[in-house]
């Protein structure tokens, strides 16, 4: 079992750290929000991100966005300086490919992986996340047993940044799928078809998707979905909008037209402007129902 420094104990990080402890690892944890550590019983309360990294065999970050990751790893008094020469460094946040490659390049020859996840808060709690990993074969082999304590599917996608590339493609598909799933439920309402009937058919037919069967955007058919708790995240619309922006930037850089991804970004930007940023991304159904999409 390893000594693990864990930084970022939000909706995802806290349950992931809990699963590491459950697997027998010794976790030293830090979050800028002072109360966040209470969500990880059994963790040592580190005084800073650098303190969590110091003396750790494995260092994991689960932070909101690229700038947070750059600051935490590379900023003054950052974790890169604090982590030991043989430490394995893993960033699980969803960030842009360039930032992932920059932080990896600054790791001073240490094993550094970008390892963003899919599966949402429920997957983080159940330890069933999918990890998409970018980095060397050797680093991946070291990380696999640690990631297996938090996830079920661990995929080595390629070199530095490849995990983030997979994640951006995944979330662009997810956002467009969720948007059209919401449209279908609203259309069904207008056509006099019950939510349950639409769910019973589509969850067992060719329209089946994770957006439908795990994050069903209407209350009822999937009792654990955010729709049953007034769209409390879950996966916030603000984070989804961030990911869609990263996907569009990457598509532009690569010279690839992704009109459905662009339309999804436009939809979620308008949802944020209307005050939906702190809601789960499935909450966009309310805007669609109001005819404002």
Closest C-alpha among 83, 140, 125 to residue 108: 83
Characterize the bridge pairing of strands 117-118 and 129-134. Answer: antiparallel
**CA 63 – CA 36 distance, rounded (Å):** 13
Sole binder of ligand NAD in the list 5, 6, 7, 139 (CB under 6 A): 7
* Stretch 41-60 residues interacting with ligand NAD (CB under 6 A): 49
**CA 109 – CA 114 distance, rounded (Å):** 15
DSSP for residue 88: E
> Which range binds ligand NAD by CB under 6 A, 1-9, 38-46, 191-199, 266-274?
1-9
CB nearer to ligand NAD: give 120 or 151.
Answer: 120
120 binds ligand NAD (CB under 6 A): yes
* Stretch 153-182 residues interacting with ligand NAD (CB under 6 A): none
2 binds ligand NAD (CB under 6 A): no
As to burial, measured by CB atoms within 10 angstroms (0-12 exposed, 13-18 middle, 19+ buried), residue 13 is buried
Closest C-alpha among 192, 168, 148, 185 to residue 256: 168
From 22, 167, 204, 232, active-site residue: 167
Q: Find the residue with minimal CB distance to ligand NAD.
A: 10
239 binds ligand NAD (CB under 6 A): yes
Q: How many CB atoms lie within 10 A of CB 245?
A: 16
In the complex, minimum distance from the CB of residue 127 to ligand NAD, in angstroms, rounded to a whole number = 14
Q: Are 185 and 222 in contact (CB under 8 A)?
A: no
CB nearer to ligand NAD: give 7 or 247.
Answer: 7
CB nearer to ligand NAD: give 142 or 242.
Answer: 242
CB nearer to ligand NAD: give 8 or 127.
Answer: 8
DSSP for residue 24: T
- What is the number of H-type helices and E-type strands within the chain? 13, 9
Asked if 232 is an active-site residue, the reply is no
Residue partners of 112: CB distance under 8 A and separation at least 6: 89, 90, 91, 103, 104, 135, 139, 160
**CA 146 – CA 141 distance, rounded (Å):** 10
In the complex, minimum distance from the CB of residue 84 to ligand NAD, in angstroms, rounded to a whole number = 19
At what angle are helices 237-254 and 259-273 packed, to 10 degrees? 150
User: How many chain residues touch ligand NAD (CB under 6 A)?
Assistant: 28
CB nearer to ligand NAD: give 31 or 111.
Answer: 31
CB nearer to ligand NAD: give 73 or 188.
Answer: 73
* Stretch 57-86 residues interacting with ligand NAD (CB under 6 A): 62-64, 68, 71-72
* Stretch 9-28 residues interacting with ligand NAD (CB under 6 A): 9-13
Q: Which residues bind ligand NAD (CB under 6 A)?
A: 7-13, 30-33, 36, 49, 62-64, 68, 71-72, 93-94, 117-118, 120-121, 234-235, 239
- Residues tagged active-site: 167
């Amino acid at each position: 079992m390893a000594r693990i420094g864990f930084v970022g104990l939000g909706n995802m990080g806290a349950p992931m750290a809990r699963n590491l402890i459950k697997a027998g690892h010794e976790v030293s944890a830090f979050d800028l929000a002072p109360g966040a550590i209470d969500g990880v019983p059994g963790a040592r309360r580190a005084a800073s991100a650098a303190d969590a990294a110091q003396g750790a065999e494995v260092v994991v970050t689960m932070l909101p966005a690229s700038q947070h990751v750059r600051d935490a790893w590379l900023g003054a008094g950052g974790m890169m300086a604090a982590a030991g020469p043989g430490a394995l460094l893993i960033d699980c946040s969803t960030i842009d490919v360039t930032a992932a490659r920059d932080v990896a390049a600054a790791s001073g020859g240490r094993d550094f992986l970008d390892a963003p996840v899919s599966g949402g808060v429920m997957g983080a709690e159940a330890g069933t996340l999918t990890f998409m990993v970018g980095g060397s074969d050797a680093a991946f082999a070291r990380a696999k047993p640690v990631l297996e304590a938090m996830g079920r599917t661990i995929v080595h996608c390629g070199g530095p940044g490849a995990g983030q590339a997979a994640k951006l493609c995944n979330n662009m598909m997810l956002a467009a799928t969720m948007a059209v799933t919401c449209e279908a439920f609203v259309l069904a309402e207008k056509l006099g078809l019950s939510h349950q009937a639409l769910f019973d058919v589509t969850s067992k037919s060719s329209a089946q998707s994770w957006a439908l069967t795990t994050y069903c955007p209407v209350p009822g058919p999937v009792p654990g979905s955010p729709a049953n708790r007034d769209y409390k995240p879950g996966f916030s619309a603000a984070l989804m909008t961030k990911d869609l922006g990263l996907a569009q930037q990457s598509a532009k850089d690569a010279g690839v037209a992704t009109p459905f991804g662009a339309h999804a970004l436009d939809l979620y930007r308008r949802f944020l402007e209307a005050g939906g940023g702190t809601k789960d991304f499935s909450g966009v159904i309310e805007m669609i129902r109001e005819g404002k999409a």
